[in-house]
Amino acid sequence: MNKLKKYTYLLGLAIAALTTAACEDQSEEITSIDYSRYFAPINLEARVQNRTDVRLTWTPSQGATSYNVELFANDSLTFEGTAALSFNGITEQDLPYVITGLEGETKYSARVQAIGEDESKASKWSGVFFETDAEQILETVTEADLTYNSVTLRWPAGQTATEIVLTPADVPAHTVTAEEIAAGQATITGLKSETEYTAKLMNGTKTRGTQTFTTLIDLAGAIAIEPEDDFVAILEGAQDGDAFAFYPGTYTVADEEGGVGKINISASIELKAVRPSDRPIINGCITLNEGASLSLSQIILDGTGTDGSQAFDFKDEGTYESLIINDCEIRNFVKGFYYLNVTASVGEITINNSLIHDIQCEGGDMFDSRKGHIGAFNLTNSTIWNSCAARDFIRYDDASGNFPGASSIITVDHCTIDGVSNDSSRRLLYVRFKGNSITFTNNMVSNMPNCGRGFSDNGNTAEPTFDNNNYFNTKNLVSDGGDGKAKFFDTEGTTLDPAYANAAEGDFTIGNEDLSYKELGDPRWY
């Protein structure tokens, strides 16, 4: 037999032997694998809740019957020394596992170990790192706790604290006495009127509670208005710099036909409430003339009975410094929120911490600029609902030719926007003024299933900076819904159901824990 035939013959024998061995092996079925220890839990997540609680979740390990959990304080996944807290015998049914009452402003490492029937095979540890928020034992400051120059802060009697620090620091830090600790309250004086302060209750370097409040009006510095006053004449005769404090009640702007009309404001003034807990209602529209600026705080502006105008109308050409709306409620107008249909430049329009609803937008858009320029439009920490269903939400026509070199910045942040621009021909951001830039962040947008053109279909609309938004029951906002007209999309936006408490009644409290944790929309709802 030559060498070639010999090698071929030997190779054939080897293949036959391997084939036979493979067939023999298949006759012995493998039914289990005996690992030396259980698998460590995977997908371990720590989520801080209620400031000083932690919610732990993980994917259960195969074969595990229980789990051990250990927490190490002031630790960053080193797990050195003795655990501050230990929990044994946790089962799959206990997940998510919540640990309460941790120390505030503290870094923790948590680790989890799988245990089975054979405890000698306990898994390796899986670890996660988190940091608790500052404690919150300070009670909400009410109007009864305030004067124009003082505040009384309250917390559970007997809870230890060392000092109270206020920002702005126009008064020194208040040292908490033993008597104040026993009573659970302290009064701080020497504050400025109508000033927003943030108070921190401290225990050494740790914050035990934080509250923000605004001192009341010192009427010595404001003009008081009561319901029986001729407030229209007073406001129309105002001088630049005047501040008007409205007592509780309804103030109706009567027109010549006995209906509800407009206030013509021609000076830069402020309107605010004497008692934030009992807010005045101004029933009527406001017209701004001759470059007048306006600031509204804690006012309800109601358009019931008006003749179809917007809530705010810029009437004259020229330059307006600002329109500032803070902590107000604007409701029941027919045409829209504001209207800028003259060759005028407005430095700033800011709407913050406000409720806006039942604005039909018949014959106008919600935030509507046709012939003017707005340097900065800020819509923040606010809720808009039951409004603008068949019109554009922000409309800003291209009047840039009348304002050479002008730019415009639009910011929409931490807003809950429900049911607006829900029409095949409408958009959220119909911005055509050249040189615009847009930021759209931390918003909860919902119930726009018929929005045909998404954010915008116009070439002049700058693609916004998007971040941390959710879109529920909407169309053409995160992707093309088939209309093919939207210019851009927020492709990173989520589409989760916020599970509102009662949207029909204006309660947009978020029931979806994941969205609440991400702090989306108007802060009042999470």
Helix or strand or coil: residue 40?
A: coil
**pLDDT tens track, the chain, 526 positions:** 444 344 444 444 444 444 444 444 444 454 445 567 899 999 999 999 999 999 999 999 999 999 999 999 999 899 999 999 999 999 999 999 999 999 999 999 999 999 999 888 999 999 999 999 999 999 999 999 999 999 999 999 999 999 999 999 999 999 999 999 999 999 999 999 999 999 999 999 999 999 999 999 998 889 999 999 999 999 999 999 999 999 999 999 999 888 999 999 999 999 999 999 999 999 999 999 999 999 999 999 999 999 889 999 999 999 999 999 999 999 999 999 999 999 999 999 999 999 999 999 999 999 999 999 999 999 999 999 999 999 999 999 999 999 999 999 999 999 999 999 999 999 999 999 999 999 999 999 999 999 999 999 999 999 999 999 999 999 999 999 999 999 999 999 999 999 999 999 999 999 999 999 999 999 999 9
For the beta carbon of residue 342, count every other beta carbon within 10 angstroms.
Answer: 15
Helix (H) or strand (E) holding 131: strand 126-131
- Cα–Cα distance for residue pair 251/274, rounded to 1 Å: 14
- CA-to-CA separations, 382 to 57, 211, 276, in angstroms, rounded: 33, 20, 18
Query: And the tokens for 516?
Result: 């609440």
- Cα–Cα distance for residue pair 487/282, rounded to 1 Å: 40
- Cα–Cα distance for residue pair 345/323, rounded to 1 Å: 12
Phi and psi for 423 in degrees, rounded to 5? Answer: -145, 150
Let me know if 19 is exposed, middle or buried by CB neighbors in 10 A (0-12, 13-18, 19+): exposed
Helix (H) or strand (E) holding 66: strand 66-73
- Of how many residues is the chain composed? 526
- Cα–Cα distance for residue pair 368/340, rounded to 1 Å: 6
Phi and psi for 265 in degrees, rounded to 5? Answer: -105, 125
In 184-282, alpha helices (H): 231-236
Q: Who's near 178: CB < 8 A, 6+ residues apart?
A: none
- Cα–Cα distance for residue pair 402/199, rounded to 1 Å: 47
Query: And the tokens for 429?
Result: 């951001």
Phi and psi for 453 in degrees, rounded to 5? Answer: -120, 15
- Cα–Cα distance for residue pair 179/176, rounded to 1 Å: 8
Let me know if 84 is exposed, middle or buried by CB neighbors in 10 A (0-12, 13-18, 19+): middle
